[in-house]
């Protein structure tokens, strides 16, 4: 069986949209930016704030009950029900150490029938120590050496995986200009 490595945020769920629409916009009513206009990730410059301010707001959302209530993307769930049994699956996300337990719990609660392994690379925050190993997805994938596919919303991660010889799929998001629907994108795995 081949192995698919899944990013979590904005691939299995819609973290950015939910954070933006349910936390950022209600707290910043004068903001005229819309989700579809978030052409950069992280979007702090588009929002006129520092990277630290953005990270603090996003992390606050990740640690809230709102994150726990995130629903999986329906097209992804449908794909798992149709085809998930044909592959091994692992989740690999970039998240702060503080938020990793919540992310793992969310993954196993919603995708535990298929995804049996969870890994993360620490997304560094102010005051965090330097991480000695596996501080990028590329470094983790290179060390692990078992991935056949990477599915991610970041062009940087997709390109890094391709450099390692891993077939990679970019999930369409406003910040990556990938064309098509999520369903069409995932159908590539069935061919």
Give the tens place of pLDDT for each residue, 149-187.
999 999 999 999 999 999 999 999 999 989 999 999 999
The CATH code belonging to domain 2-14+72-190 is: 3.40.50.1000
The predicted pLDDT at position 191 comes to 78
The percentage of residues in the chain with a pLDDT greater than 70, rounded to a whole number, is 100
Sign of CA dihedral 121, 123, 129, 135: positive
Task: Examine the pLDDT at 58 and tell me if it is beyond 90.
Answer: yes
The percentage of residues in the chain with a pLDDT greater than 90, rounded to a whole number, is 93
Mean pLDDT of 43-66: 97
3-state secondary structure of 177: coil
Mean pLDDT of 18-38: 96
Residues linked to residue 13 through DSSP beta bridges, in sequence order: 9
Residue position matching structure tokens 């979590």: 8
Task: Examine the pLDDT at 68 and tell me if it is beyond 90.
Answer: yes
Residue position matching structure tokens 């990793």: 100
The predicted pLDDT at position 128 comes to 84
The predicted pLDDT at position 127 comes to 85
**Summary mean pLDDT of the chain:** 96
pTM of this prediction? Answer: 0.96
Q: Are 187 and 27 in contact (CB under 8 A)?
A: no
The predicted pLDDT at position 132 comes to 82
Sign of CA dihedral 162, 166, 170, 175: negative
Q: Note the pLDDT tens digit of each residue in 103-149.
A: 999 999 999 999 999 999 999 898 888 878 888 999 999 999 999 99
The helix or strand, by DSSP H or E, that contains position 111, with its residue range, turns out to be helix 100-111
């Amino acid at each position: 069986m081949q192995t698919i490595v899944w990013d979590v945020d904005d691939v299995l769920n819609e973290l950015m949209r939910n954070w933006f629409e349910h936390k950022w916009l209600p707290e910043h009513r004068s903001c005229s930016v819309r989700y579809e206009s978030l052409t950069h990730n992280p979007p702090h410059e588009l929002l006129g704030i520092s990277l630290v301010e953005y990270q603090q707001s996003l992390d606050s959302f990740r640690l809230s009950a709102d994150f726990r209530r995130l629903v999986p993307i329906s097209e992804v769930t449908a794909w798992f029900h149709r085809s998930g049994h044909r592959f091994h699956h692992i989740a690999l996300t970039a998240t702060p150490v503080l938020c990793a337990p919540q992310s793992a719990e969310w993954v196993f609660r919603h995708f535990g029938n298929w995804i049996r392994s969870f890994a993360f690379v620490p997304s560094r925050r102010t005051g965090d120590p330097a991480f000695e190993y596996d501080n990028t997805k590329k470094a983790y994938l290179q060390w692990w050496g078992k991935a056949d596919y990477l599915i991610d919303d970041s062009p940087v991660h997709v390109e890094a995986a391709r450099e390692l010889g891993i077939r990679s799929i970019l999930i369409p998001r406003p910040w990556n200009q990938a064309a098509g629907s999520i369903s069409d994108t995932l159908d590539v795995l069935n061919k």
